[in-house]
Amino acid sequence: MISTKEMKLETAPGFQIVDITRKAEDELSNTGLNSGILVLFVPGATGALTTIEYESGLIQDLKDLFQKIIPEGLNYNHDRKWHDGNGHSHLRASLIGPSLSIPFSKGNLLLGTWQQIIFIDFDPPARSRKIILQFMGE
Amino acid sequence: MISTKEMKLETAPGFQIVDITRKAEDELSNTGLNSGILVLFVPGATGALTTIEYESGLIQDLKDLFQKIIPEGLNYNHDRKWHDGNGHSHLRASLIGPSLSIPFSKGNLLLGTWQQIIFIDFDPPARSRKIILQFMGE
Amino acid sequence: MISTKEMKLETAPGFQIVDITRKAEDELSNTGLNSGILVLFVPGATGALTTIEYESGLIQDLKDLFQKIIPEGLNYNHDRKWHDGNGHSHLRASLIGPSLSIPFSKGNLLLGTWQQIIFIDFDPPARSRKIILQFMGE
């Protein structure tokens, strides 16, 4: 059985890291599926998905890391050409990637105890975002 | 239903970033499937898959980024041992990763409007490449 | 058909990169499945999965790369707050990601000849680890 859902998010301005674990678990419960795969996907080029232990120290460390390896405010070719000031957002999103696959069993996502699913909105402005959740299983 | 396809590509010499979105959509149409998951996979250790807004500014920015964080021409252990001069290609490919999962619904990949699927060939020489596309759905 | 397995690993102290290709192929044989998708997933926030040509030169190059872009021993917020000295491990794992999807056909994983599946344990202490392998196919 396949069930395709859309999760909608309103993000605040600036680099946002949002814990979407609870919403994903709720959507899994709604499907009634027992075991299978959840594929999460960001339909956009400036957002990404990964997992992390969601606590404020690491959230800040992750922001610092991106500012170090792909700084905002460099003179990116994308920004010179399109003037939307988010060249860094695109590069960061391509590096982390738009998709994440998580197995579930007995109706639960098989995440670690200290592991949360995060959506990262790398775009500077506040955005209305959606994330696709596709459940495939039995 | 499961359908496994091979996409063949001839890449030019040097670091190549190829938009394969149209080919993936065509293969999806050929399957006749309505909804499910497309898993793309590179069977090789110097290629990778992600998504990006495919425009020339960002393509150059992505090349600049890799040259900054994983430079070509450092004295890599791999190159000293095997003399094939592509240590940087291997590291870049492992960082981005060989697989990408994209949900589809109503016969269409659920990509964003400005989001394309890219195959990155990190290997310096021209190569005959293949990419696996596996569609699973109904 | 869906088959969910757990692979258990005991890792040595320090940054470990383990080739799990053979074990994944053995588990695939055990399922009796012919074609489909293997999703591998690390249920934990300091481990990750990708592929590489598994040879000692590249293994060292990959360790050097992580020490360069996300050094151990920086004064991470996570470490100041929780004192477990593994802020770098968390950041590295989030960058590579916890999941990997590999198609299989005719009972074989569709890997390249010189491409191995690796589990990276970024945590400094020796750990008892598990990796989820979920096979979905026919």
Q: Is the pLDDT of residue B26 over 90?
A: yes
Residue B40 has a pLDDT of 98
Query: C37 and C102 in contact (C-beta within 8 Å)?
Result: yes
Task: Answer positive or negative: Cα dihedral of C133, C136, C137, C138.
Answer: positive
Q: Tell me the mean pLDDT in the region B5-25.
A: 96
Query: B107 and B119 in contact (C-beta within 8 Å)?
Result: no
Phi and psi for A35 in degrees, rounded to 5? -135, 150
In this prediction, residue C84 has a pLDDT band, given cuts at 50, 70 and 90, of: confident
Q: Which of A3, A41, A129 to mutate to test the interface with B (most CBs of B within 10 A)?
A: A41
Query: Are residues C112 and B45, on separate chains, in Cβ contact within 8 Å?
Result: yes
**Terminal CA-CA length for chain B:** 6
CB contacts, 8 Å: C50 with chain B: 94-95, 97-98
The residues spanned by each domain of chain B are 2-137
Counting Cα atoms < 13 Å in the Cβ hemisphere of B51 gives 28
Residue C89 has a pLDDT of 98
The pair of structure tokens assigned to C38 is 């293997």
Q: Does B56 touch chain A (CB under 8 A)?
A: yes
Q: What is the ipTM of this complex?
A: 0.96
In this prediction, residue B86 has a pLDDT band, given cuts at 50, 70 and 90, of: very high
CB contacts, 8 Å: B62 with chain A: 91, 94
Query: Are residues C61 and B101, on separate chains, in Cβ contact within 8 Å?
Result: no
Within 72-101 of C, beta carbons closer than 8 Å to A belong to: 76-82, 87, 90-91, 93-95, 97-99, 101
Residue A115 has a pLDDT of 98
CB burial of residue B134 (10 Å; 0-12, 13-18, 19+): buried
Residue with tokens 């339909």: A43
Q: Is the pLDDT of residue B113 over 90?
A: yes
Closest Cα of chain B to C47: distance in Å?
A: 14
Tell me which CATH code domain A2-137 carries. Answer: 2.60.120.460
SS3 annotation, chain B: CEEEEEEEEEECCCCEEEECHHHHHHHHHHHCCCCEEEEEECCCCCEEEEEECCCHHHHHHHHHHHHHHCCCCCCCHHHHHHCCCCHHHHHHHHHHCCEEEEEEECCEECCCCCCEEEEEECCCCCEEEEEEEEEEEC
In this prediction, residue B2 has a pLDDT band, given cuts at 50, 70 and 90, of: very high
Closest Cα of chain C to A137: distance in Å?
A: 7
Residue C38 has a pLDDT of 98
Residue C96 has a pLDDT of 98
Q: Tell me the mean pLDDT in the region A93-116.
A: 98
Q: Is A66 helix (H, G, I), strand (E, B) or coil?
A: helix
CB burial of residue A56 (10 Å; 0-12, 13-18, 19+): exposed
What's the whole-number average pLDDT of chain B? Answer: 97
Q: Distance between alpha carbon B137 and the CA centroid of its chain, in Å?
A: 22
Q: Is the pLDDT of residue A84 over 90?
A: no
Query: Are residues B37 and A37, on separate chains, in Cβ contact within 8 Å?
Result: yes
Q: Is the pLDDT of residue C121 over 90?
A: yes
* pLDDT tens profile C8-47: 999 999 889 999 999 999 999 999 999 999 999 999 999 9
For residue A83, the one-letter residue type is H
* pLDDT tens profile B53-83: 999 999 999 999 999 999 998 999 999 999 9
Question: Who among A77, A99, A134 is closest to B100 (CB)?
Answer: A99
Query: A63 and C68 in contact (C-beta within 8 Å)?
Result: no
Question: Who among C4, C81, C82 is closest to A35 (CB)?
Answer: C4
Kind of pairing between the strands at B127-137 and B36-41: antiparallel
CA nearest A131: which of A12, A50, A31?
A50
For residue C74, what is the nearest residue in chain A, using CA coordinates? A61
Q: Tell me the mean pLDDT in the region A117-136.
A: 96
Closest Cα of chain B to C31: distance in Å?
A: 17
Q: Is C88 helix (H, G, I), strand (E, B) or coil?
A: helix
Residue B84 has a pLDDT of 86
